[in-house]
Structure 1
Amino acid sequence: MLLEKLCNAVGPSGYEGDVRRIIKEEIKDYVDEIKIDVMGNIIAHKKGKGKKVVVDAHMDEVGFIITGYNEDGTLKFSALGGINAKIIPSKVVLIGEDKIPGVIGLKPIHLQSKDERKKAISYDECCIDIGSNNKNQTKKLVALGEYAIFDTKFSYYGEGMIKGKAFDDRMGCAVLIEILKENYNCDLYGVFNVQEEVGERGAFVSAYNIQPDIGIALEGTICADMPGVPKYLRATEIGKGPAISIMDRTSIFDSDITKDIIKAAEENNILYQKRRAIAGGNDAGAIHTVGNGAKVATVSVPCRYIHSSISSTSLDDYENTVKLMKEYLKTL
């Protein structure tokens, strides 16, 4: 399955090569032109008439970067993207191209003082244990600046549910690949950007070079439909369809485009929901601020537990996102 292949691929910010190779192979027979820019973004062009339309997804996932060595052979590290330190202890990771296994260690709670148990966890208190006995041994295996990712495999569970890593934003990548397999009348650019998780860096470059009139970001977005979370804090909910954003930290989305997307959903009986949160940001924040600017919107697949070692979502929500985007693009 395409989603499985994408989610199991390695692609932290700045190291998106594996994901890029998969996408290029998947789309090569469906587009008129593929370019890879200096940043490493994929720009796939389906030539048409009228306004330039960019549909965007980002290839990178959150991960870690190795920053130093401890005397006992464990590694110092920092986040590569937004990963809260609370969720990292005891997680299994893979380091670099050799996929060296490691475990994120923290002082056992049994040995922590009362004050230590109360305070927030920091990256400085954690280490990555690769089973090495000393610093010199570790230096031979792992170089400074190597990346690390969560060691999580894609799988199915429950009824119509899937789980795995990097749903933010391999969901968007998979949706965009499926979109590109059909033909439209608009001048369409399918753009797979790099380094979104560290500040939308790839999107600034690709948007500047394309100068689109319309930009739509496809995302795997936050979902908090669980016990103890009040209704008003549930940004999205599993099983209620693709989420259409109104505003986030970096964008106020164009009301006309948003209405047209909703109209496409309603006319084609596609389940959808509005994203009830303004937290976070995505590539749309870059697309609408470069060159002459562009009108933007965001459509997302709701995903539980994003920016952690594992996420989950509904296959129905993913498939409805594909359907909605195809129907909307046909109206242009």
Structure 2
Amino acid sequence: MDRNDVKQSLKTTLKELTSIIGVSGAEQDVVRAMIEKLKPYADSIEVTTLGNLTAVKKGNRPGPTILVAAHSDEIGLAVKYIGENGFIGFDKIGGVPDNLLVGRKVWISSKKIPGVIGAKPGHLLTAEEARTVRPARELYIDVACSSAEEVAALGIRVGDRAVFADTVTEMGNGDYIAGRAIDNRAGCSVICEVLRQCASGDFAGTLVVGATCREEVGMVGAGPMGHKVKPDYVLAIDTVPSGDTPDQPNKSLLPIALGKGPAVLLADGCDSAHQYGIFSSVHPAIRKAIEKQSAAQMLPVQWLTLVGFLSTTDASVYAYAGDGIPEASFTIPRRYSHSPVEMLNINDMVDMVSIIKGIVEEENETINLDFLAH
């Protein structure tokens, strides 16, 4: 398939999916949009009561089942209470940085009702206040209403999700894209493209592409996904922080960059004795399959460990599902994590799709998942 066509297809899907609000626990609109993308190419599609999405494509000869799954949710806010004066208190959902909140425009609910997070006038700030990041619990959303009744009339309810009011922008170099919810609508775009390119079914085994719910609040959907699908192995598709900006001069911490290919996290998670279960380690058979396709197609892959950052993917949960599912964290480098200006290079997504397609069509038939065989 022509590389430029794939690039444009991914851009189109990414723009569509990032335009949708889908904070953890309220991913329905994202899932609906993905169903429409997947439906022309899948043999069957299912959405569980929890909110996990799977689309199945059976190959034309026997072989193992591979699950290629991203998460559908994004970080955001939730309406905590509506004051009698019309101002709205909120909770954070997922890892929203406090220092990015003050003075931001937001959209509330799937209706995208506009609001702003209030900011004390700079003229009135004390020197101490000017140096201090105010925590979310001290902030509020202003929707230009003077009473709780006016807020209710807009259709806002307690529990409604809110996000930064931002969509993706193509930079001057159109290969670079920045915006809200790159994590992980980029991964969702990849799995849609993988199914589209594998729609002929000319491969061994079964391809299942999936979207898990609530990853940003504890990887809630991955366990049920693994238990239900019972794949022979899984590629957890996500994004990963890059280390190629001036504020990260120590490249040894995050030795990856945009435009240098997708990244495989050979080991990632927390190294604290108090954080058992938050750890992922790539299965050697999956590493070999990625290496083979990277070499065969002459496409770059970045390899690293990322332990001790409290950064991991659904892969660390798949490892504990069933009897333990062989897994790998296959990730798209992105700058400015959990901000409204997350940035990626679309070529890393194109290369990821090509490598995954190669694994499905060329490696799946002979992959040896015997741990002791490697």
Q: Same fold (TM over 0.5)?
A: yes
Offset from partner CA, 1:260-305 (integer Å, 9 cap, x none): 2122112210012124533312211221112111111011111111
The 2-side partners of 1:24 and 1:154 are apart by 21
The alignment of Structure 1 onto Structure 2 pairs a total of residues equal to 332
1:265 paired residue among 294, 298, 301:
294
Letter in 1 for 2:325: A
1:220 aligns with 2:239: yes
Structure 1 segment 143-182 matched on structure 2, within 5 A: 143-159=157-173, 160-181=175-196, 182=198
User: Where do 1:216-295 residues align within 5 Å?
Assistant: 216-230=235-249, 231-249=251-269, 250=278, 251-278=280-307, 279=309, 280-295=311-326
Q: Which moved more, 1:182-191 or 1:85-94?
A: 182-191
Match of 1:25 among 32, 36, 42: 36
TM-fit CA distance, 1:109: 4.2
Kindly indicate whether the alpha-carbon contact (under 8 Å) linking 2:267 and 2:305 is maintained by their aligned counterparts in 1.
Answer: no
Q: Which runs of 5+ in 2 are unaligned?
A: 1-11, 270-277, 365-374
Say whether 1:88 aligns with 2:101: yes
Paired with 1:252 and 1:109, the residues of 2 have a C-alpha distance of: 48
User: Are residues 1:67 and 2:87 paired?
Assistant: no
| Alignment match, 2:369 | none
SS at match of 1:232: coil
Alignment gaps of 5+ in structure 1: none
Contact 2:20/2:110 (8 A) holds in 1 = no
In the alignment, is the contact (CA less than 8 A) between 1:62 and 1:82 conserved in 2? yes
Does the 8 Å contact 2:69/2:209 carry over to 1? Answer: yes
Letter in 2 for 1:247: A
SS of 2:190's equivalent? helix
Q: Any idea what the Cα deviations from partners look like across 1:233-279, whole Å, max 9, x if unmatched?
A: 33521110111111111212223312321221122100121245333
Q: CA deviation at 1:7?
A: 1.3
Q: Deviation string for 1:62-93 (max 9, x for gaps)? A: 11101013454211101111111111111111
2:348 is the counterpart of 1:317: yes
RMSD between aligned residues: 1.7
How does 1:180-199 map onto structure 2 within 5 Å?
A: 180-181=195-196, 182=198, 183=201, 184-199=203-218
CA distance in 2, matches of 1:3, 1:228: 27
Distance between the aligned counterparts of 2:295 and 2:313, measured in 1?
26
In the alignment, the residues of structure 2 paired with residue 151 and residue 114 of structure 1 have an alpha-carbon distance, to the nearest angstrom, of: 30
Counterpart residue identity of residue 178, structure 2 = K
Which of residues 106, 109, 114 in structure 1 aligns to 2:127?
Answer: 114
3-state secondary structure, aligned to 1:158: coil
CA distance in 2, matches of 1:136, 1:203: 40
**Cα distance in 2, alignment partners of residues 125 and 107 from structure 1:** 11
CA contact (8 A) 2:21 2:109 kept: no
The alpha-carbon distance between structure 1 residues 121 and 258, as it changes in their structure 2 partners (threshold 3 A), is farther
Which letter does structure 2 place at the counterpart of 1:155?
Answer: T
The residue that corresponds to 1:297 in the other structure is 328
In the aligned structure 1, how far is the partner of 2:84 from the partner of 2:243?
41
Task: Report the AA paired with residue 282 of structure 2.
Answer: F
CA distance in structure 1 between the aligned counterparts of 2:85 and 2:124, rounded to whole angstroms: 19
Worse-superposed segment, 143-152 or 99-108: 99-108
Contact 1:242–1:318, Cα closer than 8 Å, also in 2? yes
Does structure 2 conserve the Cα–Cα contact (< 8 Å) formed by 1:62 and 1:81? yes
1:159-195 alpha-carbon deviations (Å, 9 max, x no partner): 1211221111111111111111213313221111111
Correspondence list, 1:36-47, <5 A = 36-47=47-58
Share of identical aligned residues, percent? 31
Q: Is the 8 A contact 1:211 1:292 kept in 2?
A: no
Query: Could you tell me which residue of structure 1 aligns to residue 367 of structure 2?
Result: none
Which residue of structure 1 aligns with residue 230 of structure 2? 211
AA paired with 2:26? Y
- Cα distance change of structure 1 residues 134 and 297 upon mapping to structure 2, 3 Å threshold: same
